[in-house]
Amino acid sequence: MSKKDFRFVKKESNLDLEQARVSLTYWQDVWRRLKKNKMAMFGLLIVASIVLFAIFGPLFTDFDYKDQELLLRNLPPKLEVYEVEDNVFIHRTEAYNLIEFNEEGYVVDLLEQVTIDEANKIYYYSYIKEFEYLLVEGGAFPLPAGVTLDAEAFYSEVWGIALINVLADDGDNQVIIHYVHPNSPFLSGNQTNGTVADTIEGLVVDQFVFTDDISNPDLADNYTIKSDRTALFMILDMEKTLPPNTEGIRVLKGKLSHIKIFSEDILILDFGLRGLDSSEKPEGYEDVEYIITYKGKETTKITDTFSNKTYPWGTDFLGRDVLTRVMYGARISLLVALIATLVNFLIGITYGSISGFFGGSVDNIMMRIVDIINSIPLVLYVILLMVVLREFVIDVEIFGKNRVIFNGADGFTTIIIALGSVYWTGMARLVRGQVLSLKEQEYVLAARTIGVSNRKIIYRHLIPNALGPIIVSMTMMIPSAVFTEAFLSFIGIGVSAPQASWGTLANEALGGITRYTYQLVYPSLAIAITMLGFNFLGDGLRDALDPRLRKG
Amino acid sequence: MGNYYIKRLISVFFTIILIATITFFLMRAIPGGPFTRERPVSPAILENLEKKYNLDDPLIIQYLNYMKGLATFDLGPSFKILGTTVNELIVEGFPTSAKIGGLAAILIVSVGVPIGIISALKQNSIIDYIVMFGATLGVTLPSFVLATGIIYIFAVKYELIPPTGLGSWKGYIGPVIALSGYSLSFVARLTRSSMLEVLRQDYVRTARANGISEFKVIAKHALKNALIPVITYVGPMIAAILTGSFVIEKVFDLPGMGTYFVDSVSNRDYTVIIGMTVFYAAFYVVMVFLVDVAYSLIDPRIKLDS
């Protein structure tokens, strides 16, 4: 062979041999593998939506988790209604409350029983006009000269209103408005929760013929106030809510909400036919159980079924919105799970890495302790801890004031401490095992030779390299914490009312499972979906972090 | 080998003592005792009560007395349920819990393991997917959701089983299924994955190459090894479900151990709490011990001495 047989290869052509693929870091590679796993991405999607639901859900609802309206209790998501007048739909609750809905399914008004004829099974209902005042300024309204009130009336100079007790037909005490001062704030205050008129002024004029005769004490009949308090106590209560305020006097919202005024249109619910055989019923009413009479028109059949728009998931036994409660429950359940998992993570990682790194008798003793803790049924100890912590209140005197820094009765902190302090042993074992094998690696030896401190070796070299299995174990720990929290709340030692986690919601719904199944279905579904999401995600992460572990 | 068992038994013994000790002092650390009422009891009555139950002794004496009782299986009187001892409560509650738990354990092993095996053998078939879907669902559904679901569908809607109580054999169906749901799914998943791993091993291939019938390969060679993780899980699980599930007993309204335990915790009934915890823990520790023994029987390679 001569030299001519050879020729120089151009230098650039070497480039063809180079890998075209971008090199990925370990975590980028994990992400790539995770993205390929459909179940894991599905799980991630579920987890992300549940978290979004918990964070942003409550912003989109009109209710608070503790808002209750007893008359609206146990309203189902699907409503059966009677159309008593054109576009006036009435829903009858199990407790014989009547609620008016409009055709779109929103609550319009509540009707309250005014008279009950128990013997003939006839209930009479009326619309309630219930008011709350905001920013009503009180003042000094002395009784004008020339007006004489009944001797039994109680007059409030702050509010310019006189109330009097009268005996109703049924013997119950009733409070009626006896007199209103012409300048009384009741006539000008902004009404924030009423249905007929925007201001009390308009309402008073339209609805109750409250015109020039405003100072006439005779108008009492139109102002029946339904209250279980007497006139004197109502007056005292109203005046008590006034803080010393230079800008004027404010009524706190809700303080005057006891005042209910009934309108004159009476709706009659006759259920005398209920439970009778069809042969005993009068002709034409063979399959009728309830007769609703409104403005002279009888309605006997459920006319329509539509979804409840005001409460899309219904209301619970205290008339709280189930959707709102499930959203707030998501916050509590997820937060408890997350914090408890983080606490477990910190304790477990510290304990496990120290035990594994130092080895020998340190390891032996530390692992025996873990063994002992593990041989104790942990659920029992969580229950015991919950009960123990609930009794503790730690208050410390700071700057001469007693400040409560820990109150066990607040179930939220208690449950986090109980869950966080018990379930770290699994994590400790896992980290120890990882550290035991990792510490023999050359890079640890290299670190030692250049004099890196033990602490730094653990936190800079060992733990980051053991992170894969740790993360998988954490993803699995979150659903089990949700599970345990739900379980504890379910047996009645979880977060305290009115706060609610999913477990509490399920527990509360248990009593009415036969009639109000929906109350149980929604929180249960929420728990199950969350568990499913985290499980899928955890399985996927395990496969992505360590492809060798992939099963099947 | 025998030496090992003796060592293990001694450690079982010490663990039980330790658990009793921890629980004893934990309970005494709680402010408020069994006689704390909403309306305070008069000091004279309180003194008499404490005298009657020896609560006025120094703590260490109380502790030693309790331990003495424990040694003779006397768990002491209940503070809240008058004239009843803890032993009586356990005797009363345990049979109910054990009946439900025993049936559930049988169901778990006799259904969970076979469907796990079948699912592994028919990997990636329709059967496998159905089993895996069901098992994933079973693992994610909390027991109270399952229990209430069963009551709603089978007791309320179709009235096939009574909603509460154990009057007839039908009454057992609901609690047993609800109790076994999670573990059954878990066992099926565990059996499947460990079976799949074992089936890939060389010795299984060798056995097949030797012309041994498929049944024998599975039953004799593969299964033994595949069952080891299952046994690890099943042992403590049996202890847990035999001693009663609070949730199932609450939902189905059964007078079992779980109900007594939860009641005693909220009543601050010291002796009942400690007694039940010790009973449960003893059961648990013994089951773990039995699992270890089962290991060595199934797999002689596992040497317990080392």
Say if residues A324 and A63 touch (Cβ distance below 8 Å): yes
The span from the CA of A356 to the CA of A337, in Å, is 27
Closest CA–CA distance from residue B54 to any residue of chain A (Å): 22
CB A408 within 8 A of CB A390: yes
What range does the domain containing B14 cover?
A: 1-306
Radius of gyration over every alpha carbon of chain B, rounded to an integer in angstroms: 24
Residue of A393, A501, A513, A519 to mutate for B, most B C-beta atoms under 10 A: A513
Helix (H) or strand (E) holding A82: strand A78-85
Q: What is the pLDDT of residue A209?
A: 27
Interchain CB distance below 8 Å, B15 and A372: yes
Which residue ranges of chain B lie beneath pLDDT 50?
A: 304-306
Is B19 within 8 Å of A532 when comparing Cβ atoms? no
| pLDDT at residue A282, rounded to an integer | 75
Pick the CATH number of A29-33+40-55+320-549 from 3.40.50.2000, 1.10.3470.10, 3.40.50.150, 1.10.3720.10: 1.10.3720.10
User: In B, which residues are within 8 Å of A517 by CB distance?
Assistant: 152
Mutate to test the interface with A, among B119, B122, B144 (most CBs of A within 10 A): B144
Spatial contact of A191 and A203, defined as CB atoms under 8 Å apart: yes
Asked if B284 and A388 come within 8 Å (Cβ–Cβ), the reply is no
| Contact status, residue A187 vs residue A202, Cβ threshold 8 Å | no
Q: Does A108 touch chain B (CB under 8 A)?
A: no
Mind giving me the DSSP string for A244-267? --TT-B-PPTTTTTT-EEEEEEEE
Single-letter code of the amino acid located at B203: Y
Which residues of A fall within a CB distance of 8 Å from B149? 524
All residues of chain B having their beta carbon less than 8 Å from the beta carbon of residue A532 are: 136-137, 140
Q: Do A531 and B246 touch (CB under 8 A)?
A: no
Residue of A129, A63, A76, A142 lying closest to A105 (CA atoms): A76
Which residues make Cβ contacts (< 8 Å) with residue A277, sequence separation at least 6? Answer: none
Residue A196 confidence (pLDDT): 33
**pTM for the whole thing?**
0.70
A548 Cβ under 8 Å from any chain B Cβ: no
Q: By C-alpha distance, which of B235, B233, B240, B243 is closest to B116?
A: B233
Record: contact A487-B142, CB cut-off 8 A: yes
Task: Say what the pLDDT of residue A194 is.
Answer: 38
- pLDDT of amino acid B39: 60
Name the residue facing A391 among B30, B145, B273 (closest C-beta): B30
Handedness of CA A190, A196, A202, A203 (dihedral sign): negative
Q: What 3 state SS string does B80-137 have?
A: CCCCCEHHHHHHHHHHHHHHHHHHHHHHHHHHHHHHHHHHHHCCCCHHHHHHHHHHHH
Q: How many CB atoms lie within 10 A of CB A443?
A: 12
| Residue A199: DSSP 8-state | B
CATH number at residue B90: 1.10.3720.10
Tell me the C-alpha distance between B241 and B236, whole Å. 9
Number of domains in chain B: 1
Helices (H), A267-321: none
Domain boundaries, chain A: 29-33+40-55+320-549, 81-299
Give pLDDT, residue A403: 67
The closest alpha carbon to A536, from A5, A9, A41, belongs to A41
Across B17-74, where does the E strand assignment appear? none
Q: Give every CB contact of residue B203 below 8 A, 6+ residues apart in sequence.
A: B221
Per residue of chain A (552 residues), what is the pLDDT tens digit?
A: 788 888 877 766 555 555 566 777 878 888 888 888 888 899 999 999 999 998 888 888 877 777 777 777 788 888 888 887 777 888 887 777 788 888 888 887 777 777 777 777 788 887 655 544 444 555 677 888 777 777 778 887 776 777 777 776 666 666 667 777 777 665 554 443 433 333 232 222 222 223 333 344 344 444 555 455 566 766 665 665 444 433 333 333 333 333 445 555 677 888 777 777 777 777 777 777 788 888 777 787 777 788 888 888 888 888 788 888 888 888 888 888 899 899 989 999 999 999 988 888 888 888 888 877 776 666 667 777 777 776 677 777 777 776 666 666 677 888 888 888 888 888 898 888 888 888 888 888 899 899 899 888 888 888 888 888 888 888 888 888 888 888 787 777 777 777 888 888 888 887 777 778 788 888 888 888 888 888 888 888 877 876 654 443
How far does the CA of residue B70 sit from the closest CA of chain A (Å)?
18
Record the tokens describing residue A33, joined without a space: 């593998």
pLDDT digits (tens, 9 = 90+) for B212-270: 888 888 888 888 888 888 888 888 788 778 776 777 887 888 888 877 877 777 777 77
One-letter amino acid of B297: L
Nearest to A551 among B145, B149, B193 (CB): B193
Residues in B touching A513 (Cβ below 8 Å) = 148, 151-152, 156
Q: Please say whether the beta carbons of A128 and A98 come within 8 A.
A: no
